[in-house]
Amino acid sequence: MKANTENIGPLHLFAWIVLFELGSAVVIPIGLDAKQGAWIVILLGCGVGILLMSAVYGSLYRMYPDLPLSEYAIRIAGKGPGWAIGFAYLLYFLYIAGRNTRDFGDLLAAASYDATPIFAINVCIVVAVGYVLRLGIEVFGRTAFMFFVFTGGIFMLILVLVLFSDMADAHRMLPVLPDGWQPIWKALYPTNITFPFGELIVMAMFFPHLNKQWKPVRLGIWAMLLSAVLLCIAVFVNISVLGIEIVERTTFPLFTSLSRLRLAEFVQRMDAIVLLLLIITSFFKIGTFMLAAALIARDLFRTDNYKTLVYPVGLVVIFSSILMAGSLTEHLQEGLKVVPYYLHLPFQFAIPIALLLIGWIRRRGGSASS
Amino acid sequence: MSAFVHRIATSMLVVLALLPLLAVAGCWNSREIDKLAIVTAMAIDRTDSGDFELAFQVVMPGGQSHAGGSGTEMPFTVYGIKSHTLFEGIRKASKQVPRQLFFSHVQVVVLGEKLAKAGIREVFDFFERSHEVRLTSMLLVARGAAPDKLISTLVPLERLQASAVLGEGQLSSKLWSEATVVEIDDVVRKLINPGVEPTISGLKLIGKDKAAIEKQSLEQSRPPYHLEVSDIAMFKEGKLAGWFEGNAARGLLFVLNRIRSSIMNLSCGGMPDGVALEIIKSKTKNEVSIKDGQLRVHVVVNTEGNIGEVKCGFPLDNLDALRGLEREWEDAVKSDIQLAVRKAQQKSTDVFGFGMMVQRSQPRLWKGMESRWDKIFANAEVNVTFHGIIRRTGMRGKSLMEERDSKGGSS
């Protein structure tokens, strides 16, 4: 497969990964089961993610630097099983794209579009994503970089607001471990070792597109560190502004915090910038999964152009986002009780590790026999 | 030629596709401002049967234009309704209100004393859950009068009662420090955390309360009533447990580090309350420690003040005399604080948040004490250390009284 004529630069990939990681994670409660220890959960989750990235996804990439996940699955596991694995990943990525779209729609509806059907919201975002995806991987990467700069500005603004407003009280971060280490492990497994850092398995579809003189795994690790820091900042902002008593019950913590903050009586109601953050990061998260799904579909079904596949992928994402759950509670319940165990753990851990082991054994066997 | 036709057709299609945008632009549930009734204050009380009794202060659309002057229109109007839940009441009010009630600009929420005694917890869920209400509204407890009466009161100087009350609350917490501006989320945090109990300032109507809703009252230069933000209500497990008044309220705010400025009267040559001292800066740090199950609190107050007035010939240029005054100041602040502490300990309700401090510094220890915290708090030993400096004495050195006194002495 020599179709990798589309190349993305290192900064683009870096920005892309950061925005992808922040998608949903920056606005929904993450690690808050551990109360004030949420930032520890995020850092540990990032640690596990980095380990996974360098040891598993990275090793697979080094084995097949020119192939995406779906292709090396066929090389490693053989034609039939490899195709089945690729197809499973196709479904997985479609479903997760749908889940993120649903998150997006529900959060926007809860926060400000209370009478708008989420179908309308979801169509809007998926159409916007589809438009950019149709222009190709390169454009998506460049767009990511542009919005990365913008997101950085938003974070700076939030930090300024928090530091100069008297609403925030850093003492609320104490005690660091109110109930010991137990809740940390509970929050970590299986929810936060898989979300958001384990989801980077999707990047295995794009690594071959990076300009060859750069190392995608190293870039990915730096991007993960930066996004972990940004997520921790969000946690600090939430807890110091609202207090753990309020944060642990919010559905949309950063939005609530920013609606509280005010500076000198006239800079207030800055919650709209959180909506902006939600829209930007969700855009890249949904886009990444849709693009990955389109790429897998191209490889599996042997069409030439993934760009036309964006239409069916978009339709599937829109409709699955609506049909996957009746209520928000059902959606969140599935996200906590079903998805991590039956989807994230197998697709982020079990299958890649199995592929890596088989690949190693084959290579060694191959080199021994030859 | 065909290329030309093609181009025309394409551009026609584009225009056709863009046309619906004109119709669908805007919000799904857009509400125009002239269809809204903007609520500025809300009163919540409880009926004897346990229902809510709600009242909404709604801005009159034309009533704001002629600022200050007594126009022909009332500046606001108040709707009242009874309901089982807050949300029900708000929607049920549409039977009386010709426009949709809009809650994003609620400045003041007044809770009735009856409700406060029965428990305020259940009120806040709606405020948190709704995305329209802000958590930054100021919270007050009606003292004496019914809360709907208080928000119906016409006030001079401000057109809206809500702005007047908000202004009074903010100013008196800034200049006088016997009341504090408490916002909804602050109370929510304290209701949940077992190591601290909420305190909310009171709102009183003083004078002829019958006249308070009549427009003629405002046509007098001295309305026969006034609204006052004063006293601080303390709660225990969400229920009103008592009030801090006067010096006790100031003592409470000293411990809570909420003193910004205040006037304290000290004695002057045998005359009680002969010197007015203005507190210009104050910072309090509390240190908690637990020894053998006994809570010890060390309250450290660091404050600065200026002399604002003397009513006798006090030698302000004499450093020793000033030191004496500082010592007296120390005693006054300490007695204020002890008064507040005793009041809170009597009801064993930890309004100071000492429990929260233990929880933050020694979480393990806290776990064991949480369930009997009210007893531990009631038996706590509170010590106060006071560092006060009188910085300046204003635009005059010696008092005019001192001049005369010394002349009288020489003759």
Q: Say how many CB pairs under 8 Å bridge A and B.
A: 47
Top CATH class of A10-354 equals: mainly alpha
- Render pLDDT for B209-257 as a digit per residue (tens, 0 to 9): 777 777 777 888 888 888 888 889 999 988 999 999 888 988 998 998 8
Region B4-21: mean pLDDT is: 85
User: Given an 8 Å threshold on Cβ–Cβ distance, is B28 in contact with A115?
Assistant: yes
Query: Among A272, A362, A316, A285, which residue's Cα sits nearest to residue A82?
Result: A362
Region A147-156: mean pLDDT is: 92
Chain A residues within 8 Å of chain B (Cβ atoms): 110-117, 120, 171, 174-175, 177-179, 242-243, 245-246, 249, 256, 259-260, 262
pLDDT of A186 reads 85
- B-interface mutation test, from A165, A167, A246, most B Cβ less than 10 A away: A246
- Render pLDDT for A5-56 as a digit per residue (tens, 0 to 9): 678 888 999 999 999 999 888 888 888 888 888 899 999 999 999 999 989 9
CB proximity B363 to A under 8 Å: yes
Query: Among B197, B254, B205, B261, which residue's Cα sits nearest to residue B228?
Result: B205
User: Given an 8 Å threshold on Cβ–Cβ distance, is B28 in contact with A120?
Assistant: yes
CA distance B78 to B40: 10
Interface of B with A in 26-45 (CB under 8 A): 27-29
User: Given an 8 Å threshold on Cβ–Cβ distance, is A116 in contact with B363?
Assistant: no
CB B326 within 8 A of CB B320: no
Domain spanning B246-411 has what CATH number?
3.30.300.210
- Six-digit token pair at A262? 């005010």
Residues of A with Cβ-Cβ distance to B185 under 8 angstroms: 242-243, 246, 260
Residues of A with Cβ-Cβ distance to B192 under 8 angstroms: 245-246
- Render pLDDT for B268-309 as a digit per residue (tens, 0 to 9): 777 888 888 888 889 999 999 988 888 999 999 999 999 888
Beta bridge partners of B271: B268
Nearest chain A residue to B365 by CA distance is A178
User: Given an 8 Å threshold on Cβ–Cβ distance, is B193 in contact with A245?
Assistant: yes
HSE on the CB side for B137, CA within 13 Å? 25
Q: How far is A175 from chain B (nearest CA, A)?
A: 5
Interface of B with A in 113-152 (CB under 8 A): 128, 131, 134-136
Q: How far is A355 from chain B (nearest CA, A)?
A: 46
The 3-class SS string of chain A reads: CCCCCCCECHHHHHHHHHHHHHCCCCCCCCCHHHHHHHHHHHHHHHHHHHHHHHHHHHHHHHHCCCCCHHHHHHHHHCHHHHHHHHHHHHHHHHHHHHHHHHHHHHHHHHHCCCCCCHHHHHHHHHHHHHHHHHCCHHHHHHHHHHHHHHHHHHHHHHHHHHHHCCCCCHHHHCCCCCCCCHHHHHHHHHHHHHCCCHHHHHHHHCHHHECCCCCHHHHHHHHHHHHHHHHHHHHHHHHHHHCHHHHCCCCCHHHHHHHHCEECCCEECCHHHHHHHHHHHHHHHHHHHHHHHHHHHHHHHCCCCHHHHHHHHHHHHHHHHHHCCCCHHHHHHHHHHCHHHHHHHHHHHHHHHHHHHHHHHHHHHHHHHC
Query: Among B198, B383, B405, B381, which residue's Cα sits nearest to residue B292?
Result: B381
Cβ neighbours of residue B179 closer than 8 Å, sequence gap 6 or more: B169, B172, B173, B201, B202, B229, B230, B231, B232, B249
CA distance B69 to B315: 48
Region B381-392: mean pLDDT is: 90
Residues of A with Cβ-Cβ distance to B363 under 8 angstroms: 175, 177-179
Nearest chain B residue to A110 by CA distance is B131
CB B283 within 8 A of CB B303: yes
- Six-digit token pair at B262? 């205040």
Residues of B with Cβ-Cβ distance to A112 under 8 angstroms: 131
CB B317 within 8 A of CB B398: yes
Q: Which residues of A83-114 are buried (b: 16+ CB within 10 A; e: fewer)?
A: bebbbbbbebbbbbbbbbbbbbbbbbbbbebe
Residues of B with Cβ-Cβ distance to A110 under 8 angstroms: 131
- Select the more confidently predicted residue: A103 or A260: A103
Q: How far is A29 from chain B (nearest CA, A)?
A: 16
CA distance B371 to B343: 21
- Select the more confidently predicted residue: A56 or A269: A56
pLDDT of A353 reads 92
Facing residue for B136 by CB, picked from A112, A115, A260: A260
- The amino acid that residue B299 corresponds to is V
CATH 3.30.300.210 segments of chain B: 246-411
CB A63 within 8 A of CB A359: yes
- A-interface mutation test, from B104, B136, B174, most A Cβ less than 10 A away: B136
User: Given an 8 Å threshold on Cβ–Cβ distance, is B361 in contact with A256?
Assistant: no
pLDDT of B411 reads 38
User: Given an 8 Å threshold on Cβ–Cβ distance, is B131 in contact with A262?
Assistant: no
- Six-digit token pair at B38? 């903007």
CA distance B64 to B231: 31
Q: Report whether pLDDT(B133) > 90.
A: no
The answer to ipTM > 0.85 is no
Nearest chain A residue to B363 by CA distance is A178
Region B190-219: mean pLDDT is: 85
User: Given an 8 Å threshold on Cβ–Cβ distance, is B188 in contact with A245?
Assistant: yes
CB B389 within 8 A of CB B345: no
pLDDT of B64 reads 57
Q: Report whether pLDDT(B323) > 70.
A: yes
Query: Among A159, A162, A164, A175, which residue's Cα sits nearest to residue A242?
Result: A162
Q: Report whether pLDDT(A370) > 70.
A: no
Q: What are phi and psi of B279, to 5 degrees?
A: -80, 125
Percentages of chain B per state (helix, strand, coil), in multiples of 5: 40, 30, 30
Worst-scoring range by mean pLDDT, A357-361, B33-37, B228-232?
B33-37
